[in-house]
Structure 1
Amino acid sequence: MTRTGSDSSPTDISLGEMLPLSARRAPERPCFLFPDGSWHSFARTNSRVNKLASALRRLGVVRGDRIAVFGLDSHGHTEIVLAALKLGAVYVPLNYRLTRSEVDVLLKRSRPVALFHDQRYAELLAGVTEQHPGIRHSVTIDATHGEQAAEFERLLATGDDVEPPVVSTDRDPFALAFTSGTTGLPKGVVQSQRMIKNIVYASIIEYRMHRDDVRYCAAPTFHVSGVCGLLCGVSFGFTSLILPQFDAATAQRFMASDELTAVFLVPTMISSMLQLPGVADADYARLRLITYGASAMSPALLRRADGHLRL
């Protein structure tokens, strides 16, 4: 049974319990906002994650099993992460820019029992289950051409909207992520739930997060910054914009339409956004914070961003 009572302290609550707690607090608040303006509430997101966790359990996925994801950012990608947290399974993020030979190395080393992927990568992943027989289930996240529902949605339909029993703790692995492999083959790095939870808590404090925020983190979900950015929203109860990949025009449109209150970008993204026509004409009334990382920002670019985006 999920520990969401008033006697629970933050240190008692596992990452997998954060979503149902937020869904109880504000069920109709948007959890995920999408490029077309549609959204999923916290209640709907929690329901979908419950169904996915239930469906995976029926397929035999248990605590400690590894679930790999090779796809762009989407609600499906994030739901897989959240279902893994509820199951105590281990998320294996795969960089969608990898070649097939690189993917094979990571799959051989991580030994997942399930692989979720976008349809666009079906050709790249052709024959992957034959080459890696430990992968018992390969599921397409998004709909293929001419189909009414993706395999992912059909899988969800087999599950029950019931909160699974608490099975994971801070000591359990959250993810098995891989280094870039610049000095040799990529090395698997185990990220504990305690580590990720501490990053989430620190980010909520340091980045001045509020429950009425609408935030966009441009780091991809397969990166620790991206997944932690989304988990901040899930845990604290604010809305996260999910774009498949960073697109300067789309991100600027949401900023200029007064929907976003804060964004995380890298300097090259900020530079590309400042080159858009009309970028300096909007007032960005709700935008109160831009954080950046991954590389240094020149003083000239920082002054341009400060002037054009009117922080």
Structure 2
Amino acid sequence: MGKIEAIRHNVGGIMGNRRRHRIASVHVEEVKAVVSRLTGALVRAFLVMLLIATPSVILPGTGPDTQQMVALIALFGGVLTFAEYNAVYPSLVEFRDAPPFNRIRYLALFLTVFILSVIEAANIAPTSFTRLFEALGLLIGHSLDFPYSPVRLATMMMSENASAADISAVRSAAGTAYIISLISLAFFVVIFKLKGWPSRHKDFNVWVNLPTFEPTAGGDVVDRLERDARLNLSLGFLLPFLIPAVVTLVSGGFDPVTLTSPQTLIWTMAAWAFLPASLLMRGVAMGRIAAMIRQRRVANLPPTHPGIVAAL
């Protein structure tokens, strides 16, 4: 009996040690996940703050009031980004777990703001570096300024009192922003085709990556995703043409003093080019997700098959 009790004691000790090791392993993995999520949120918050502050940092002669306002907006954007990416459950940001979708969009917007800031700096404190970007901007603007082009329509947003220099500045900024948006869109399509975005080696969770999309809202999910994809593609294609037309009809054109203010010009042209490109990317992504769900239905694959939309 003593030997049996000893064996039971040893077996119990071994099982207890294994259980403790499993608990410790799970705890370590949880800590790693929390640290990874916290680090990623901090990096993204810093990048958003850097994006917002870029024009004020590059443009010389920025007033203290403007700097304080930009710092406040950058801080707000950083806090919002940190809260979103540090949260376990999503709320606003789409495709946060499906890289490199948001990375491409951020890089496109950052390059647009940075290059436009450098071009505008050439008019205030010219250097050989800023002059180079100014010349490239003028070349791109004139190349894309043909009848009925988005760049031509962007210059038509200016009022009749705008000078030739004001129109040239808008043309250069619009052409540069538009070509960057086209390049970013082409790069996303290449990644989409070559890499098979989203990754075939992990499940795509609709709830995490599309927090504003409600799968149970009614109607077939595939039809709704395809309808959203077509809507985003249509808006993305038409917005560069519609925005100048709407501005011209509503306000009779921008005041030259307003639009040629460096900060206003940079952010206006960046938004004018980035928003349509972002909608086009979203349309392509929604169409891809709809195709994934349709393929699963046709093949009747189990929910855990790689690449299948886990949330549906």
TM range (shorter): under 0.3
Give the structure with the larger helix fraction: 2
- State TM-score, norm by structure 2: 0.24
Give the structure with the larger strand fraction: 1
Looking at CA atoms only, which structure, 1 or 2, has the larger radius of gyration?
Answer: 2
Task: Identify the structure with bigger relative contact order (alpha carbons < 8 Å, sequence gap 6+).
Answer: 2
